[in-house]
Amino acid sequence: MKRKLILRLLVGAALVAAALGGSPLAAHAATPLPAPTNVQAVHVADTSADLWWLRDGASAQDVVERKVGAGWREYARGLFGQLALTGLTPGTTYTFRVYSIPVSGLGYTTSARSAPVSFTTLPGPDTVPPSTPAMPTFSTVTTTAADIFWPESTDNVQVTGYHLQQLVDGVWTNFRTVGPGGRFQSVYGLSPGTSYSYAVIAFDARGNESARSATGVLTTLPATATPSCRTQVIPYNPGFTANVTIVNTTTAPIVGWTVRFTLPAAAAAAGVFNGVLTRTGDAATLTPVSYTNVIQPGGQFTVGFSGSARPFTPPSGFTFEGVPCTS
């Protein structure tokens, strides 16, 4: 009698569970983490290389395995998307793969192994120089300063830096040495209305240097009695963006300034930056905020705003302290 009662209770529980769309005895299997992807060997030299891969955010750590003969052996763990390989043998082929171990408690299990990646180390020390950099170019040129940029060079292993050189009295001199990400440099203390010659040399970890780039010639703006002003109005009917770049090409600081222009009273304006916008009818002005009130000799900055107008009539007639701005 007691056994029949227990059986009835079990059957009833099963029926209730079925009605609710589940089973009280079913277990939810954990989901494996996605296997790491985009496994690649970069910066392969004679005794070293870097291993990179993409990993899932739920991974607590990654494990790298190396193929030895027909099997696999654990090489390193506790990793997070990269591993510097050192002490390698020159002229040897290596094969690696990666898998991920999940963060505990998230319902994941260890991932499958990634696709393997193979590479062969160089047979000896690297003797190949980087490619010749492209000629440097210049922007944001004022009477005393400018920005210098050059594109990235390539190398059979890795470009580790650049020498930015300046031609001084007919001799190329290392003006600045920077890392691989330093291809945008600002120079200051230049003289107004003067030409300067710059070139670039790339180098790698072994000290191999590229040929010198073609020479880029930078000519600073001449000193003038009044500052210069440039405008750029970008229309996207019915909207627009107006930028005014003020360059102090004089030899004295500018303290306080006013940009005047025409802006239809019906036009909407917003998003003002580096200045204060005031309006009276169709007349509008831009005046400085605290950090743009003083413009030192050779200094420059851009002030502006965005807006819209129906019918479409963008701002026009910009002047800086009464002097018309160029477009």
The b/e string for 55-70 (b: 16+ C-beta within 10 A; e otherwise) is bbeebeebbbbbbeee
Q: Which CATH number is 137-219 given? A: 2.60.40.10
Q: How confident is the model at residue 5 (pLDDT cuts 50, 70, 90)?
A: very low
Q: For residue range 153-175, what is the model confidence (pLDDT) as tens digits?
A: 999 999 999 999 999 999 999 99
Tens of pLDDT, residue by residue over 107-155, are 999 999 999 999 999 999 999 999 999 999 999 999 999 999 999 999 9
Give me the sign of the Cα torsion angle 130, 134, 136, 140: negative
Model pLDDT, residue 298: 93
3-state secondary structure of 288: strand
Give pLDDT, residue 327: 87
**CA 200-203-208 angle, 5° bins:** 125
**Residues contacting 176, CB < 8 A, separation 6+:** 163, 164, 185
How much is the pLDDT for 28?
A: 53
Give the model confidence (pLDDT) of 176-213 as tens digits.
999 999 999 999 999 999 999 999 999 999 999 999 99
* Tokens 């930015």 found at: 164
Q: What is the C-alpha separation between 60 and 176, in angstroms, rounded?
A: 42
Identify the CATH class of 32-120.
mainly beta
Please indicate whether the domains covering 32-120 and 137-219 agree at the CATH topology level: yes
Are 146 and 216 contacting, i.e. CB atoms less than 8 angstroms apart? Answer: no
Domain ranges within the chain, ordered by starting residue: 32-120, 137-219, 228-324
Separation of alpha carbons 263 and 91, rounded Å = 70
Is it the case that residue 7 has pLDDT exceeding 60? no
Give the end-to-end CA distance of the chain in Å, rounded to a whole number.
100
* Alpha carbon distance 277, 268 (integer Å): 12
Give the fold, CATH level 3, of 228-324.
Immunoglobulin-like (2.60.40)
Q: Cα angle vertex 143, ends 138, 144, to 5°?
A: 80
Q: Alpha carbon of 268 to those of 275, 287, 306: distances in Å? A: 17, 18, 9
